[in-house]
A and B are shown apart, each in its own frame.
Chain A
Amino acid sequence: MQGGSSGIGYGLKYQARCISDVKADKDHTSFLTGTLSLKEENEVHLLRLSSGGSELLCEGLFSHPNEIWDLASCPFDQRIFSTVFSTGDSFGAAVWQIPEPYGQSNSSTLECVASLDAHVGKINCVLWCPSGKSDKLISMDEQNLVLWSLDSSKQSAEVLYKESAGMRHSLSGGAWNPHDLNSVAATSESSIQFWDLRTMKKVNSIERAHVRNVNYNLKREHILVSADDESGIHIWDLRKAKVPVQELPGHTHWTWAVRCNPEYEELILSVGTDSAVNLWFASASSEKKTSESLVEASRLRVNPLLNSYTDYEDSVYGLAWSSREPWIFASLSYDGRVVIESVKPFLPRR
């Protein structure tokens, strides 16, 4: 593994927004990424970090019919992933399967497992159930939340529930709680909403305008991280959701996405439209400390920003930690450049 700040790069042909860690691939550190080009033929790239960790290889190149706005890899089958795509005037979402001998490149076509075609508006994202075994899916458009049951053998997906969030709340994205599989957080224009999947009802919300992205801390229950356009990153304890546990300054311009490290609970990555990726150290352990010591700590606290990776030419939208090697992350800037970096030098000592 290469140390230092220089990462491993890979260029996509077109502009791109989304990258996803292939969680089900236990043998390799792999990422899936898809291009966002209105007029060209879009591609899905399966990237694999070479065993030495010094090269990023294109393991598969598949053509995708439309520009890809969101992409998520299936947590239990490395060949399956979902995309949200746009044809220009309409949106669609589908689950795809990578064809069997996928070694050869040259844009082999993807097999469509299921089309998630219960939406009319702008689809935001598709979420896979984080348990890693369940075949549940959630797709979200601006007004609706749809829970799917996927049957990959029958090549079909079935709508289990469909619930409208109402016209007023235009949903923009979400995250599935890895600690409570019945709970999903959805970002809307004015708040973060929490939905209970059993009743398909909104159970809770955090009033916060313009949240662009949310992410659950995988290691610690009740901890949610949110990224705003203007006011940076907030860390919430869902049991005391009135005020954030901690605030991080975020980026100079919008903070686009945040991801908690799957292994090191204090590490948070964020990407922003100021062409930077920031690595934060957030020791937001609210339970352990009394409020006074926290005040004291906040006074004493050194800069929570561990490092800022700034070698990007354009806004960075895509971000994913590797679940196999949790000190590795992939970032994707709008100009189609994937950069793999290691945070090993910044890992907390244990």
Chain B
Amino acid sequence: MATEAAPMDEKAKRMRDLLSSFYAPDPSISTSGSSISASFDNINSTSFDADQYMDLMIKKSNLEVLLQRHVQMAAEIKNLDTDLQMLVYENYNKFISATDTIKRMKSNIFGMEGNMDQLLQKIMSVQSRSDGVNTSLFEKREHIEKLHRTRNLLRKVQFIYDLPARLQKCIKSETYGDAVRFYIGAMPILKVYGDTSFQDCRRASEEAIEIIIKNLQTKLFSDSESIQARAEAAVLLKQLDVPVDSLKDKLLEKLEQSLDGLQIKPEEASLLAEHNDSSNDAESNEQLPAKIHEDAVRGFSEAMRAYREIFPDSEERLFKLARALTAMHFENMELYIRKRVSAADFLRIFRIIWEDVVLMDEVLPEAELSDLSAEAAQVTVKKFVARTFSHLQQDISDTILKFDINQREAVEEEVLKVVLEASKKAGIQGTTDIFQDFRQLLDENIGIFVKMKDLIIGWIQNGFQDFFRSLEAQFLVLSGKTSSSKDIEGGLVEGKSSDKIHAGLILVLAQLSVFVEQKVIPRVSEEIAASFSGGNSQAFENGPAFIPGELCRVFHAASEKLLQHYIDTRTQKISVLLRKRFKTPNWVKHKEPREVHMYVDMFLHELEEVGKEVKQVLPQGTFRKHKRTDSNGSNTTTSSRSNTLHNDKMTRSNSQRARSQLFETHLAKLFKQKVEIFTKVEFTQESVVTTTVKLCLKSLQEYVRLQTFNRSGFQQIQLDIQFLKAPLKETVEDEAAIDFLLDEVIVAASERCLDVIPLEPPILDKLIQAKLAKSKEHNNNNNTVSS
């Protein structure tokens, strides 16, 4: 036990335990904690066994300890005794004082009952007195109340009789609020007795109220009144049970009608733009359309503000109106830009619209006008960009088609050159203008444009890409070379047959393609890099934007295609000529050649035309002689060719002289290197002419090969070809190839001739001279006629 640790507490604790065991019915609860630890030597526990304790003591301890223990115990017992005595004493004391108190209480209560009875009697008498007063005053009070009621009634009657006059007074003083209050106050009475006693009165007041309503309505409709006043009027009307909704409808309809006036009509738009422009510098007082429009819109938004306050429940309707106006603005804008509009004008109109939108947005922020208009603006700007491009394309094609090059004389006037220059200029000028326009768009600092900047850049880049693509397609269509894709798209192009298209136009288109490839596209890509780069990536989602490389390729291909097409058209024309020449006569029964045949003139004339066209359009190339091919024939094919062809022919021919002459041509052919006839066409005058001549001569050879000639027929061919030699060599850069081809024609003719005897050179010469003289004379005649 903790006897040493807390010797002081020991006593107090024991005391407490003892007391609690005395009062508590179950001592085990309170002492449970200590009883466990205290086994046998705990004298306080209930299970303490004195004998056992003694035995233990005697066994464990010696005498001295026992004695000590005895002394200690005796002292403790003594202490306990005094403690108990003290307790008994204290309790007794308390009991005595309690008894005293009870005694005092008893004496105090005595005599209370009499007082109580007295009180009861007094209260009873008070009650009876008050009852008496009550009954004596009752009648008087009744009377007073009756009088009071009558007076009230009279006052009301008076009020109602006075009502018309009062209302009139109110009308006069325009205090409609009071009037309405009076009328509404009188309303129940009028309703009940209106048909009987107050008939006149009611009628009069109703008349007055009619006037009031009318006045209120006019007030509501009059724009000059303040919004406050009008709102009040509306409230009053509502109180008077006047159908306000119909009024509201009427008002809003009026507002709607005014929308028409606010429209920027396409036809007025340009006017608006112009005047807006001039108003900047000229400070004139006259009402300019732009100003008028602004005021109108301001008025409109004011009205909206007013109506919104007057009829809070009509917001939706107003939203609708505002949206309608915005939508209408943009629709008109679209109509407007359907015509050709400069960016400046476009922006001016756009600015006006934007101001309108801002004005309305201030009044009705909930209508989300800015979102709506942002969307519409995007669409409009996109359309504008697209339209600008299509206008440019239209411009270019107009320029190309403007000149009527189908006229015969046109060729003399170098119309092709004019067309080419004009189209070039249109192209360059157009792109420059377009860039200026777009720069204006980008520089515009209306909030919405700033937001759309990236988008606009994307559209512009895309626009250029599409523009060039469609330009190329249009070139092809214009040239009549209906591309396969176009054919499939519906075969509409079919109607425009290539016959109707002037060949010169094709040449112009070809050269224009080169120009676009070399000048316009690089320029555009520079411009784009300089001021239109960095469009946001979203714009590029639908395919890449501007790719100059690809466009250059496209136009390069187009230019080659067109040039080829030009040559084709030209050769086709000549081919028809040759075909007619070879189909019509019976060559087997040909008569002696008298003169150089007509078709040679026509052929040369066609070539001359080609030369003229080419000279107008294409640049002059560096003059150079034809290159011969490196591949000398072909060694790859194993050939078991019988080379008897020429020898056989030679031995059989009759005339010795003719034989040797033919033999020469054949030998020449054998030993000549294979001349490359079909070289790549270049964009030079010479190349085009040469190619045309080569193709035509080749055709000539093929036509010859399909015929069979008698001697005269052969001689005719020989004569014609001989005549052609000189003028062709003059026009063509590649003499070797022309020589070769001309020889080929003769060879072909000789091969297809039943009886090869060439004309004697003197005769040949004579005939050619005759022809030359004749043509000279013809020319002279022509000159004299024309002069």
> At the interface, is chain A mostly helix, strand, loop or mixed?
loop
Is B97 close to A, CB under 8 A? Answer: no
Distance of A291 from chain B, by nearest CB (Å): 5
Cβ of B637 and Cβ of A298 under 8 Å apart? no
Q: Are B637 and A311 in contact (CB under 8 A)?
A: yes
Contact A38/B753 with A291-B488, A294-B485 known, Cβ cut-off 8 Å:
yes
Is A313 touching B633 in the complex (CB atoms < 8 A)? yes
CB distance from A263 to the nearest CB of B (A): 25
The answer to whether A178 has its CB under 8 Å from any CB of chain B is no
Q: Does the CB pair B641–A230 fall under 8 Å?
A: no
Interchain Cβ contacts under 8 Å between A and B, 7 examples: A15-B645, A38-B754, A88-B708, A88-B754, A170-B583, A294-B488, A337-B641
Bound complex: CA of A86 vs CA of B708, how far in Å?
9
Q: Which residue from B485, B652, B674 sits with its C-beta under 8 Å from A313?
A: B674
User: Which of the candidate stretches A97-105, A153-161, A193-201, A247-255 sits at the interface with the other chain?
Assistant: A247-255
User: How far does the Cβ of B457 sit from chain A's closest Cβ, in whole Å?
Assistant: 26
Which residues 569-623 in B have Cβ within 8 Å of A in the complex?
571-572, 575, 579, 583, 588-589
Which one of B487, B579, B644, B708 contacts A243 once the chains associate, using CB atoms below 8 Å? Answer: B487
Q: Which of B216-224, B248-256, B698-706 contacts A (4 or more CB under 8 A)?
A: B698-706
Residue pair A8, B636 in contact (C-beta under 8 Å):
no
Q: Which residue of A lies closest to B698 (CB)?
A: A253
- Say yes or no: is A133 at the interface (Cβ < 8 Å to chain B): no
Whether the Cβ atoms of A311 and B571 lie closer than 8 Å is: no
Query: If A38-B708, A230-B575, A231-B568 touch, does A252 touch B637 (CB 8 Å cutoff)?
Result: no
- List of A residues within 8 angstroms of B644 by Cβ: 13
Asked if A39 CB lies within 8 Å of chain B CBs, one says yes
Which 6 residue pairs of A and B lie closest in terms of their CB atoms, listed nearest first?
A11-B641, A311-B634, A252-B678, A243-B487, A9-B637, A295-B485
In Å, the complex CA distance between A96 and B568 comes to: 42
Q: Which residues of A contact B708 (CB under 8 A)?
A: 38, 86, 88-89
Q: Which residue of A lies closest to B587 (CB)?
A: A89
Other than the given A38-B708, A170-B583, A243-B494, 17 more pairs (CB < 8 A) read A6-B636, A9-B639, A39-B754, A88-B588, A88-B754, A89-B708, A229-B575, A230-B572, A242-B491, A243-B482, A244-B487, A274-B698, A291-B488, A295-B485, A295-B489, A299-B485, A336-B642
A123 interfacial by beta-carbon distance below 8 Å: no
Inter-chain contact A38/B638, CB cutoff 8 Å: no
Any B CB within 8 A of the CB of A10? yes
Chain B residues with Cβ under 8 A from A12's Cβ? 642
The number of chain B residues touching the other chain, given as a range, is: 35 or more
Report the nearest A residue to B565, measured CB to CB. Answer: A231
In the bound complex, do residue B568 and residue A6 qualify as a contact, i.e. CB atoms below 8 Å apart? no
Name the residue of chain B whose CB is nearest to the CB of A67: B708
- Residues of B contacting A230 in the complex (Cβ-Cβ under 8 angstroms): 568, 571-572, 575
Residue of B nearest to A334 (CB): B705
Residue contact B699 to A254, C-beta cutoff 8 Å = yes
Q: Is the CB of B640 within 8 A of A11?
A: yes
Residue in B closest to A294 when the chains form the complex, CB atoms: B488
Residue of A nearest to B642 (CB): A13
Q: Is B55 interfacial (CB 8 A cutoff)? A: no
Q: CB-CB < 8 A to B589: which residues of A?
A: 89
**Residue ID in chain A nearest B702 by CB atoms:** A273
Q: B379-436: which residues lie under 8 A (CB-CB) from chain A?
A: none
Closest residue on chain A to residue B634 by CB atoms: A311
Interface status of B552 (Cβ within 8 A of chain A): no
Q: Any chain B CB within 8 A of the CB of A131? A: no
Number of contacting residues on A, CB 8 A?
48
Q: How far is the CA of A11 from the CA of B634 in the complex (A)?
A: 14
- Chain B: minimal CB distance from A338 (Å): 10
Docked-complex contact A295 and B488, CB < 8 angstroms: yes
CA distance A230 to B485 in the complex (A): 20
Any B CB within 8 A of the CB of A14? yes
Chain B hits for A326, CB < 8 A: none
Q: 0/1 per residue, A26-66, Cβ < 8 Å to B?
A: 00000000000011100000000000000000000000000
Determine if A253 and B699 form an interchain contact, defined as CB atoms under 8 angstroms apart.
Answer: yes
CB pair A247–B484 under 8 Å, yes or no, is yes
Q: Are A273 and B637 in contact (CB under 8 A)?
A: no
Given contacts A253-B698, A274-B677, contact A291 B489 (CB under 8 A): yes
Tell me the smallest distance from the CB of A301 to a CB of chain B, in Å: 10
Q: Tell me if A7 and B753 are in contact (CB < 8 A).
A: no
How far is it, in angstroms, between the C-alpha of A303 and the C-alpha of B585 when the chains are bound?
42
Residue B729 CB within 8 A of the other chain: no
A312–B674 Cα distance when bound, in Å, is 11
How many angstroms between the C-alpha atoms of A254 and B705 in the bound complex? 13
B752 in the interface, Cβ–Cβ < 8 Å?
Answer: yes
* Other-chain contact of B484, A242, A298, A336 (Cβ < 8 Å): A298
A171 lies within 8 A of chain B by Cβ: no
A298 close to B485 (CB less than 8 A): yes
Is the C-beta of B627 less than 8 angstroms from some C-beta in chain A? no
Which residues of A185-213 are within 8 A (CB) of B? 210
CB under 8 Å from chain B, chain A span 303-327: 311-313, 315
Contact present for A11 and B488 (CB under 8 Å): no
- Asked whether any CB of chain A lies closer than 8 Å to the CB of B351, the reply is no
Smallest distance from the beta carbon of A179 to chain B beta carbons, Å?
A: 23
Residue of A nearest to B487 (CB): A243
**Distance (whole angstroms) from the CB of A296 to the closest CB of chain B:** 9
A335 at the interface (CB under 8 A from B): yes
Q: How far is the CA of A334 from the CA of B641 in the complex (A)?
A: 12
**A127, chain B: closest CB distance, angstroms:** 20
- Residues on A with C-beta less than 8 A from B485 are 294-295, 298-299
